[in-house]
Chains A and B, each alone.
Chain A
């Protein structure tokens, strides 16, 4: 289920939320029109974004305005903006509904960002499996082109900003920003070694900024309402809104755009609490790559960047995976590792060799053919991957392993010693 929200999901309150007319009725495209007709200096926009406290909503939480300000100011080379709509993080399905339900706001956001960084070409890279979102985006783009919002001479200003939708081919790693650039260039989605960073040498070697869909779709509202409105949306300096995708063992899994800083318990209430009256066991608060936090931590936490960081995890993509007391942590981790084993691109050694090793060690554990020593080695293997890979996939593999073992090592050791799950008991043969 999906609920209307104040920023990215604001059209969802209306019927036909994805139509141009719907978006125009709530003041759509007015922001970019103002910017272009008044020739607002790009710096003003970037400063506004900086002031809003907006950070990358794709998971890495890098300050968006700062990222834009890294782009070279000179006009002698073509610059690109890439919108990362390859939403692949397990548990996450927030961008999909921006693309399908509010595509025009994303287009306006793309135009604002492109204008601010001086990009004349924008690629919106969509996850390969997104069929309806792709079609909605294509339709929206067509409408925007007809209106003269996109393409050459937008708003009769002489300015050119072209936007293209690109559909991926179904890999998780293409969501890594430099892998996305490789894929856009027609190559295998192998993450690039950095530096150079994309702002210096990105798509086709040109300066490029890559932002998440939610980040870019927030821009029209931030500019319209002003940075301080956004920044202090919930409480002072809370940092705006965030789409939370609450899944797992809750009564009514839901996607909601909520103020940052709301207590986790409130979030849990909005989805009707834990299923079957069970007790909360743990939460992965930001998509499967983030560190898991046990119930006692989560129940006292506010859902914002600082609090989760202080608790040892992160808000990530905002995918809140809720686990109740019935689940076996060994099974859950195996399930996650199966995903990472399958999605490792294979380019660099630690991840290519380490992820299958972790996965198979867990499988042996699940089959009751393991030892405490093997459980202990999991952390060592994960630690050997972490920080040694080309991209952050290494961390995405390592963090779940280390955090599961940090908080639930008793379950793993029990499994190793007894050959069956501590939670689920002996398997019926």
Chain B
């Protein structure tokens, strides 16, 4: 920040180097000179309304707000002169006359900026004798609790909604002493980043509903960790109550840890509130074995021997190692080492995909290595293909929004659903899943100055405009979202996207599932790659093939087959007919209890340590935030034990950093360069000829086992509905609001349907998703009939 300081000012006699255009408060902050403030926040616009930061500036007869006063050469600032102290005391008194002075019963007590500043800058006495103002509370939904009487009108929350979240959900109504922070019309806060207002609120007006009255800040130990939910890998702090017995330790809340290169000052609601799942009653406490159809708790030793016995005579062809990309790099590495003893070749982690024919053309891992998150903000134009970054990777989406706000970037979109974005949109093209890859392939032809056959006028027009914009921009980016990668033609989509990026001079980035898809590619959680991109002797079978087996042997690592997979029902029926299922998981679930033979209890994310590799290839390690609870064990410990049982030569390391270092060294020495992988020339893609396809869009709060068990986040979800265009519905004689029967290849469910004009013709969509709809394929053909129709 201080690359080229050219301005020198004096604060309290101390000489301070500043940048031109900087505010006094920012300069003071950098030099550790404290100036009290409430409305000022470095990531929000400056309103100078709280007046707490008034300082004495030489040559000004009035005190000036340090947040709004721009430094000028030779400026002399005093924060402790008589004028400044008088102003600070005056403002402090005004703020406190209507603020309840009941800190002991306030949830913010002990970490309240008003409390802190009043101790340092207040007067301690007041003449105020009148009644205090009381304000009715707002109901902002299950995540944010309000105590509006405590509000000091700093408007940070309002500016956050306007400027950062891009959803102006809160505003100020009323005038003078009747000024209120309000939602105007009653509704809950829906933004995926809304939880950040809890941190922004300097007082106890906006607090965390799940955390409310659960603890005091001074009781907590703060532990740095990395978010286990998305491919950005936000930095966060677990706040943990340390009790004498580790059983009683618990995470009471999660707050962001500022990191300018990753998540800045924010975390998503999923990262913030998923900790509630840690306390879920389904938490596995003891290794379990099924004996004559009944589950029995066993010791770790017996369980591990039993695993060994089960796998002893298994044929490698019939052994499938399926791992969730929520696992750490170390767990994946050891998982591979362990199953290598059994010559297993069928590894996979691509739970939510179904088309793998381009796998050999993929680079070492799908994260784009030449792009940082910060660089996304500088893109002039962006094309979003198939996905909703707001749900999939909220802080990646935040970077896109920043690009539109700060650099007037244009964001174009080709999607299967009309997702609501929080930035101004450029050209948009919403097509059905049948037409999706076909449209993209047509656009590639347009980029090659060919005529795109069979494209409707509107999509070829927007296609041409988008390609022209990407080509004309110096900095452009193509983002491939998760639904594009769940598409039945995703191989072709990836090939076309690569070619399109090359033709238009754009960068390409793939949004990936879970926090560690990149790690899974690197450690060879794939049928066609060994760790570090080495080529195996035999290419194994991919995950869809694995689920089509009968009497196979499955090792499931953090996988809940019916909820985590592209086609949950297919996965579950495979397990039903399996020879043997060994599951590593932190939670019990009906599907595992029904089909597994042995379940090994893994420690949760907070009790684990390891490394995630994010979307931009950043290796981010985190340590154990608290000791493992019950009789669960961190995966890397269990897997080392299993390896050791098979071979006494296998070294057991007790320190995970040694293990991480080993992996990193091997990565640096062994990984081949994948920069020149030839990509197959994409063929012209024909539309899929299914009459009706359904797009089952995962809610972000259903994305992994932990968040599925976080109660407050689950309360934010609406009832699942089948959304369908009225014209499509007409073909099936379905009326609005009617309950319909949805049949996929393997599964039949019933849901109410709702007409929605934004759904393309020939397809339906299920948003949000209660657990019962998750087993439907992410994108697949279905048939529909009305329930009443069936009965008559």
A: residues with CB less than 8 A from B are 171, 188, 193, 195, 341-357, 360-361, 364, 373-374, 377, 380-381, 384-385, 387-390
Contact = CB atoms under 8 A, between A and B. Distances in A.
A193 B39 CA distance: 13
Contacts of A374: 127, 129
A354 B127 CA distance: 12
A193 B127 contact: no
Contacts of A390: 48-49, 51
Contact of A349 (B52, B127, B130, B178): B52
Contacts of B129: 374
18 contacts: A193-B46, A193-B48, A193-B65, A346-B153, A346-B174, A346-B179, A348-B48, A348-B50, A348-B51, A349-B91, A352-B94, A352-B177, A353-B94, A353-B95, A356-B176, A360-B130, A374-B129, A390-B49
A388 B62 contact: yes
B176 A349 contact: no
Contacts of B128: 357
B90 interface: yes
A348 B177 contact: no
Identify the interface centre among A193, A195, A341, A342: most chain B CB within 10 Å of its CB: A193
A352 B63 CA distance: 18
A341 B49 contact: no
A350 B51 contact: yes
A388 B49 contact: no
Contacts of A171: 175
Contacts of A188: 172
A12 B234 CA distance: 71
Given A188-B172, A353-B95, A346 B51 contact: no
Say what secondary structure dominates the interface of chain A.
helix
A350 B94 contact: yes
A352 B90 contact: no
Contacts of A389: 51
Interface of B: 46-52, 54, 61-63, 65, 68, 70, 87, 90-91, 93-95, 97-98, 127-130, 152-153, 172, 174-179
Contacts of B97: 353, 357
Contacts of B98: 353
10 closest residue pairs by CB, A with B? A346-B179, A384-B90, A344-B176, A353-B94, A193-B48, A387-B62, A377-B127, A356-B177, A346-B176, A348-B49
Given A341-B177, A347-B49, A350-B90, 17 more contacts: A188-B172, A193-B47, A342-B175, A342-B176, A345-B176, A346-B176, A347-B47, A349-B49, A353-B94, A357-B130, A360-B130, A373-B127, A384-B90, A384-B93, A387-B62, A388-B51, A388-B62
B135 to A, nearest CB: 13
Contacts of B178: 346
Say what secondary structure dominates the interface of chain B.
loop
Nearest to B176: A344
A341 to B, nearest CB: 6
Contacts of B68: 193
A381 B172 CA distance: 26
Contacts of A345: 175-176
A9 B177 CA distance: 40
B91 A341 contact: no
A381 B62 CA distance: 16
Nearest to B63: A388
B754 to A, nearest CB: 34
Nearest to B133: A356
B153 A388 contact: no
A384 B127 contact: no
Contacts of A355: 176-177
Nearest to B70: A195
Identify the interface centre among A384, A387, A388: most chain B CB within 10 Å of its CB: A388
Contacts of A193: 46-48, 65, 68
Contacts of B46: 193
Identify the interface centre among B129, B172, B178: most chain A CB within 10 Å of its CB: B129
A350 B50 CA distance: 8
B1 to A, nearest CB: 23
Given A374-B127, A384-B90, A388-B54, A346 B175 contact: yes
A377 B70 CA distance: 35
Nearest to B91: A349
Contacts of A353: 94-95, 97-98, 177
A342 B127 CA distance: 22
A384 B91 CA distance: 8
A344 B179 CA distance: 10
A388 B68 CA distance: 13
A80 B205 CA distance: 41
Nearest to A386: B62
B50 A380 contact: no
A356 B174 CA distance: 14
A349 B95 contact: yes
A350 B172 CA distance: 18
Contact of A344 (B49, B70, B91, B175): B175
Identify the interface centre among A343, A353, A374: most chain B CB within 10 Å of its CB: A353
B127 to A, nearest CB: 4
A371 to B, nearest CB: 9
